[in-house]
Homo-oligomer: A and B are copies of this chain.
Amino acid sequence: MAPSFVVNGDLAAAAGGASVPAPTNTGRFASVYSEVQTSRIAHELPLPSVFKGSFQIVDGPASSSAGNPGDIAKLFPCLFGQPSAMLVPSSASAIGSGGTLKIGVVLSGGQAPGGHNVICGIYDYLQERVKGSTLYGFRGGPAGIMKCKYVELTSDYVYPYRNQGGFDMICSGRDKIETPEQFKQAEETAVKLDLDGLVVIGGDDSNTNACLLAENFRSKNLKTRVIGCPKTIDGDLKCKEVPVSFGFDTACKIYSEMIGNVMVDARSTGKYYHFVRLMGRAASHITLECALQTHPNITVIGEEVAAKKSTLKNVTDYIVDVICKRAVSGYNYGVILIPEGLIDFIPEVQQLIAELNEILAHEVVDEEGLWKKKLAPQSLELFEFLPQAIQEQLMLERDPHGNVQVAKIETEKMLIQMVEIELEKRKQEGTYKGNFKGQSHFFGYEGRCGLPTNFDSTYCYALGYTAGALLQSGKTGLISSVGNLAAPVSEWTVGGTALTSMMDVERRHGKYKPVIKKAMVELDGAPFKKFASLREEWAAKNCYISPGPIQFVGPSSDAVNHTLLLELGALA
């Protein structure tokens, strides 16, 4: 139980690499590992069977785009239409030119469990399949490419990060390579390091960026090829060929552990309604997955709120109706899940905030409230409906540009206050006789950097290994794609999907830009339909499930998230 694995110093010996330079990264190396962390380093990862022998790349048919193919073709003249690729066993000797490779890798955007394993997968592929190759890790995200800030990854260097959470091996960043000057900087780095390839590990924006970079390198006749990898805990980067983004599985299981604990507490204590806000600003996949894992009494899915054009009052009433019904059954407690981005799904709230921004920028806000007459009637009604504390928050807290800081609104606390007000009203009307006490939670950062589950560890390793194979075979502008994920790992399929095939155009800041559209919760998809078919029972009764802490060996250690299994048709 005492920390038993001192990484510093002993590592070179442990890894058995006598001639490898001593570690220079002092982040992890100066640190001490817990017993579980140490055990995870040694955890062996299975690979899809195609990687057990020789393989070849088989191209599919020419691809199109997710929308507006004409525009995408214009934006990607070199890459548009290229086929997706599949790795298949082969008796042929080897793919690629046979020479060694120089590859760069970069982490882009927010943390997601498993990122280190993607890098380890690329590294091991090169070690085992293209001996003598070099892997550079760009530091601090895309800025590391532009500034040519990198570290050469060695066996010793990557060793302590195997199956570990976080992005601290080379760290991440949120910069983008967008302007002509920035593309020029990237080219200079590619030339300077003589890069054969670059792996971009990131979300929808980062993979769009990766494709632009691939197009740019190709158009300049640079040899540097670019492969993307699907990363985001939010689960909103996916398509048929890329069934899930990595990190989603781990993050949802960490949140579900906490939600399950809170549920047992709610049932034991019998007097609290826990309002749990979950990370995921754009899509509600995390909230939906956690609901499927834990069976809360109420779950708000942003995409449904938007589809129904619900108002904040509608959402409040829905919650209050369930609370009233449960009070009749003698339950004055419960658990309610709310996606972080809820407010962004409610049109009237967006309207109110836009009007407030305008008023606060140009008008005098008088104490008597005469300024409110500037609000449209519907916005005024909503404003008056909001609890005073939220009204004040909307008026006071503004960002440097003078805009209301929506992100700072603690939606779970706002809903508790609105529910309290509505319940008080119903109490006075005689339609509610229960007791209500709200407790608020936000589960966010805890989930982004946990130790990756066995699923995420294995999936990421395969993604990295695949990226290595795609680069060796000369591919560019593809996203590493590992499929058939409900089957045993040996049967997983491996290939690359044309990034342009996932793209559409979107007008941003007056310009048409290529985008990989975020995959939202589909209201006619299997995960939502399963949830919708059960939620009334979950609301009325207590069907709570407590998944418990993530296990790395023994029961549930090979579990896969419900969303993925339902989407693959592997779970009824």
Known: A542-B30, A548-B451, A549-B451. A168 touches B267 (CB 8 A): yes
Interface size on A, residues (CB 8 A): 70
Q: Which residues in B have their C-beta under 8 angstroms from that of A31?
A: 542-545
8 Å CB interface, A21-62 against B: 27, 30-40
CA distance A164 to B260 in the complex (A): 12
Q: Which residues in B have their C-beta under 8 angstroms from that of A545?
A: 3, 31-34, 37
**Set B1, B449, B565: member contacting A565, Cβ < 8 A:** B1
Residue A100 lies at the interface, judged by CB distance under 8 Å to chain B: no
The quantity of this chain's copies bound in the complex is 2
Known: A258-B446, A446-B262. A172 touches B268 (CB 8 A): yes
CA distance A118 to B541 in the complex (A): 28
Known: A445-B441, A447-B261, A553-B554. A548 touches B167 (CB 8 A): no
Residue A231 lies at the interface, judged by CB distance under 8 Å to chain B: no
Report A447-468 CB contacts with B as 1/0, cut-off 8 Å.
1111100000000000000000
CA distance A165 to B263 in the complex (A): 10
Report A1-13 CB contacts with B as 1/0, cut-off 8 Å.
1110000000000
Residue A439 lies at the interface, judged by CB distance under 8 Å to chain B: yes
8 Å CB interface, A545-567 against B: 545-556, 558-560, 562, 565
Report A173-196 CB contacts with B as 1/0, cut-off 8 Å.
000000000000000000000000
**Set B1, B171, B293: member contacting A270, Cβ < 8 A:** B171
Residue A265 lies at the interface, judged by CB distance under 8 Å to chain B: yes
Given contacts A450-B549, A554-B554, 5 further A-B contacts (CB under 8 A): A31-B542, A32-B295, A39-B556, A171-B268, A262-B445
Q: Which residues in B have their C-beta under 8 angstroms from that of A274?
A: 445
CA distance A177 to B336 in the complex (A): 35
Known: A262-B449, A274-B445, A450-B549. A556 touches B166 (CB 8 A): no
**Set B1, B33, B260: member contacting A558, Cβ < 8 A:** B1
Known: A265-B445, A446-B261. A451 touches B546 (CB 8 A): yes
Residue A571 lies at the interface, judged by CB distance under 8 Å to chain B: yes
Chain A interface mostly helix, strand, loop or mixed? loop
Report A388-413 CB contacts with B as 1/0, cut-off 8 Å.
00000000000000000000000000
Report A266-286 CB contacts with B as 1/0, cut-off 8 Å.
011110101000000000000
Residue A111 lies at the interface, judged by CB distance under 8 Å to chain B: yes
- Shortest Cβ gap from A565 to chain B (Å): 7
Interface centre among A30, A172, A441, A548 (most CB of B within 10 A): A548
Q: Which residues in B have their C-beta under 8 angstroms from that of A32?
A: 295, 543, 545
Taking a contact as CB atoms under 8 Å apart, the answer to whether A264 and B168 are in contact is yes
CA distance A278 to B41 in the complex (A): 30
Q: Which residues in B have their C-beta under 8 angstroms from that of A35?
A: 547, 555-556, 559
Residue A236 lies at the interface, judged by CB distance under 8 Å to chain B: no
8 Å CB interface, A513-572 against B: 541-556, 558-560, 562, 565, 571
CA distance A264 to B115 in the complex (A): 13
Known: A261-B165, A545-B34. A445 touches B439 (CB 8 A): yes
CA distance A571 to B2 in the complex (A): 8
Task: Name A3's closest neighbour in chain B (CB-CB).
Answer: B545
Residue A338 lies at the interface, judged by CB distance under 8 Å to chain B: no
Q: Which residues in B have their C-beta under 8 angstroms from that of A265?
A: 111, 166, 445, 448-449
Interface centre among A172, A254, A265 (most CB of B within 10 A): A265
Taking a contact as CB atoms under 8 Å apart, the answer to whether B268 and A261 are in contact is no
- Shortest Cβ gap from A450 to chain B (Å): 5
CA distance A274 to B444 in the complex (A): 12
Q: Which residues in B have their C-beta under 8 angstroms from that of A215?
A: none
Q: Which residues in B have their C-beta under 8 angstroms from that of A450?
A: 257, 261, 264, 548-549
The 5 closest A-B pairs by CB, nearest first: A1-B559, A36-B548, A549-B549, A39-B555, A166-B264
